[in-house]
Amino acid sequence: MNRHRWLTGIIVTLSLALFAPALASSGGHGESDHGESGRIDPIHHVLDSDVIEIPWLNAHLAKKIHLPTVTEFEVGGLKIKLAVTKHVIFMWLAGVVLLIGVVGAARKARADKVPHGFLNMIEVFVVFIRDDVTIPSMGERYGRKLLPYFLSIFFFILTCNLLGLLPYGASATGNISVTAGMAILSFLLIQSVAIREQGLGGWLKHLTGGVHPLLWPIMIPVEILGMFTKPFALSVRLFANMTAGHIIILSLLGLIFIFKNPGIAAVSVPFSLFIYLLEIMVSFLQAYVFTMLTAVFTGIGVHSAHHAEGEHT
């Protein structure tokens, strides 16, 4: 593993954590688990909040920290609040975990020494992303050159997903602002690689789809729409999958309180445990899917340029 590439990847990871602070309406998401009727509100646990709970051994000692608001402004008549929220805190926590864990593992890596323990686990993911995702999708040149970015994306999403499964935790990837921020970065990467390989003229020519000029008024809008559909699908897929699992678990556990019968726990708790274990697999799967699709979309621009060169020769 190249230490300089790892450090570059970590910088990208921290940039991701700072890129998508939660943008919420001025009303916020509420600070209590209970609505006006006194009933438990499970949606509170999957939405972002300007309050973070601190776990204590005794339930009656549970405390909350009110997070600060950086600034408020209006865009098109919509009042927007830029604040340090619960999801932002857990993004920062994910960045710190990656700095400590991955940089520490990279420092221990030696070419003449067989890795073991945590370093061996990290190397498994690194080799997998390199040999089965980036290089097959983008070729040897870009597969190695852009590897730090894709490793950063993978480990950042994975860490955020797993932190959301901890008690009192929160899935930052269950926030559409966070997933949209990462999708925008991926969109910029995809288009910049395509322009670099094809040239600006070739990239613009690609928007025509190679059809007759009379069909350009139809083809160009379709191609432009397709450019933005890819990152949109990336952000929505990750957001929806990470939110859905938590809602299912809360719904199953909520059956106990809805029916007010402890016997329901004999059914809902085992099913919730099964979904929870499934969520662990989904955490890895969604990190892989986001990384793999970004690599595939980037590789399309690279392969299109090579195909165009082959036609000219």
Instruction: Give 10-residue mean pLDDT values along the chain (313 residues).
Output: 50 42 37 46 73 70 77 80 86 91 76 70 90 91 91 94 87 90 93 87 78 82 88 92 86 82 84 90 94 92 59 48
The residue segments making up the domain with residue 123 are: 3-312
Q: Distance between CA 280 and CA 300 in Å, rounded?
A: 31
pTM for this prediction: 0.80
| pLDDT value at residue 79 | 80
Instruction: List CB contacts of 13: < 8 A, sequence separation 6 or more.
Output: 94, 95, 98, 152, 155, 156
- Residue 5 is predicted with a pLDDT of 52
Number of domains making up the chain? 1
3's CB contacts (< 8 A; 6+ apart) are 106, 107, 109
| Listed residue (109, 107, 113, 155) closest to 9, CA to CA | 155
Q: Residue 222: its pLDDT value, please?
A: 87
Q: What pairs with residue 81 in β-bridges?
A: 24, 72
How far from 72 is each of 65, 86, 100, CA to CA, in Å? Answer: 20, 18, 34
How confident is the model at residue 48, as a pLDDT?
Answer: 82
